[in-house]
Amino acid sequence: MRILSGIQPSGILHIGNYFGMMRPAIALQAEGEAFYFIADYHALTSLKDPATLRENGRRVAIDFLACGLDPERAALFRQSDVPQVTELAWILSTIAPIGLLERAHSYKDKVARGMTASAGLFTYPVLMAADILIYNSDIVPVGKDQKQHIEITRDLAVKMNETFGEIFKLPEPRIHGATETVPGIDGQKMSKSYGNTIDIFGDEKEMRKRVMSIVTDSSPIEAPKDPDNSTIFQLYSLFATKEEIAVMCEAFRRGGTGYGDFKKQLFAKLWDYFEPMRKRRAEILADPRYVEGVLERGAQRANEVAEKVMARVREAVGL
């Protein structure tokens, strides 16, 4: 079984990225052959500074490895180090119905938030389909908000197979709900574009500041509080044990504890949770060649698979 997932280097990684993509991907590397790419082509739709893009890509690799990705079990590589993916994206675009792309929720949401309505943003799902199909992927782990992209990929694969013969297998989504349950400090979904994130590897002072700035209601200390509507409790529940969650839940409902104290508990849990990963990250940074070596080996593995698929595609379409 081959597993495929990608993450954009559009900014510093935060705990929403960790629970939404990174932790599920790291867990899946034990189930099959995993290919994980840093989606720098995709990032070009929003990031226009070349130095920042390169630095972000390297930082994503460092953070992913620090969080537990094993390069002996999973190939980690830059999307742009596999040129066949853009070749396949063009071929897929020649059969992609405009109406299919016009129905993509992601495009409409991003334009509504102020992003430029570029051709690249509009055809984003085609490039994503190429990312998935170029590696003969079986499983693509995604949150519910990304399920439509997998459906578009399957539609394009079916259309290619109907037009040119059986070329592609149909990938299956592995749906998890984490991306919809990681709130930012303002209560919205945690996202770099909203500026409401808590970074995985921010320094202690900055992480504490972000946690203490979580938006709450005006309930007095003595009043009972609703944990189900609390960003603090939702975030704490991602890191704590069942017993610890039950204790905080009871404290919320009982009253007598202020939000400031709950925030301090959340910060302590966050800081302790990522402590082993901070140590691993320091070890990685101590070896200047390690990360580039991982990315080069990952790209070699990815290119070997991608070229076999593209040879089949070229033959089928007449190139």
Q: Judge whether 169 counts as a catalytic residue.
A: no
- Tell me which of 48, 159, 192, 205 is the catalytic residue: 192
What is the helix (H) or strand (E) element at residue 139, kind and residue range?
strand 139-143
What pLDDT, on the 0 to 100 scale, is given for residue 129? 96
Order of all β-strands in the sheet with 2-7: 74-78, 33-38, 2-7, 139-143, 172-176
- Tell me which of 189, 225, 263, 269 is the catalytic residue: 189
> How many domains does the chain fold into?
2
What pLDDT, on the 0 to 100 scale, is given for residue 177? 54
Within a domain: residue 299? yes
Q: Judge whether 192 counts as a catalytic residue.
A: yes
Across 147-166, b (16+ Cβ under 10 Å) vs e yields ebbbebbbbbbebbeeebee
CATH number assigned to the domain comprising residue 233: 1.10.240.10
- Tell me which of 48, 110, 269, 308 is the catalytic residue: 110
Within a domain: residue 238? yes
Q: Judge whether 205 counts as a catalytic residue.
A: no
What pLDDT, on the 0 to 100 scale, is given for residue 179? 44
What pLDDT, on the 0 to 100 scale, is given for residue 270? 96
**pTM, full prediction:** 0.89
Please list, in sequence order, all residues whose beta carbon lies within 8 angstroms of the beta carbon of residue 182, skipping any fewer than 6 positions away: 15, 16, 19, 20, 189, 190, 234, 235, 238
pLDDT along the chain (319 residues), means of 10: 91 89 89 95 92 95 96 96 98 95 83 82 94 95 80 96 96 70 90 88 95 95 95 95 96 96 97 96 94 98 98 97
What residues make up the domain containing 226? 202-273
Say yes or no: 75 and 208 in one domain. no
What pLDDT, on the 0 to 100 scale, is given for residue 189? 86
